[in-house]
Amino acid sequence: MTNRYDKLLAGIIILAAFISYIVFIFPGQESGVRVVVEAEGKEVYVFPLGELKAGEQIPITGPLGDSILEMGENRVRLVASPCPDHICLAMGWIDSPGEMIVCLPNRVVVRIEGEGDWDDIAR
């Protein structure tokens, strides 16, 4: 036999499951998730992930020339770089906290910081 408290508890569990589903389905929409771009060890751009339009490109000037950062829908990638091997271009899209793209010859680092960052868990 169920009483009204059992029904209330079941409703709370279902509501909590629904809210958890919504939070995890849209990870790029979290507050605090941001893209940090460094050139030669200095931060040159910091912006929330998903703030810029998909397809927008930003030049990042390093010692070899400009690397081009492209925005996607809640993700970023490098599409051009003056480095010789283009390993940084092969990294593809990044979209989760803790992920990064590094171009060592041009001294460019693109990383995503925010909630769920691996470094926060290790501390």
| pLDDT above 80: residue 50 | no
Other beta carbons within 10 angstroms of residue 75's beta carbon come to: 19
pLDDT value of residue 30 = 47
- Do 17 and 56 lie in one domain? The reply is no
pLDDT digits (tens, 9 = 90+) for 1-35: 778 888 999 999 999 998 888 777 665 444 578 99
15: enclosing H helix or E strand:
helix 4-25
- Do 111 and 79 lie in one domain? The reply is yes
The whole domain housing 106 covers 31-122
pLDDT value of residue 26 = 62
Amino acid at 41: G
| pLDDT above 90: residue 70 | yes
Q: What is the distance between the alpha carbons of residues 110 and 123, in angstroms, rounded to a whole number?
A: 22
Say which CATH number the domain at 80 has: 2.60.320.10
What is the 8-class DSSP label of residue 63? T
Number of domains in the chain: 2
pLDDT value of residue 54 = 87
- Do 23 and 44 lie in one domain? The reply is no
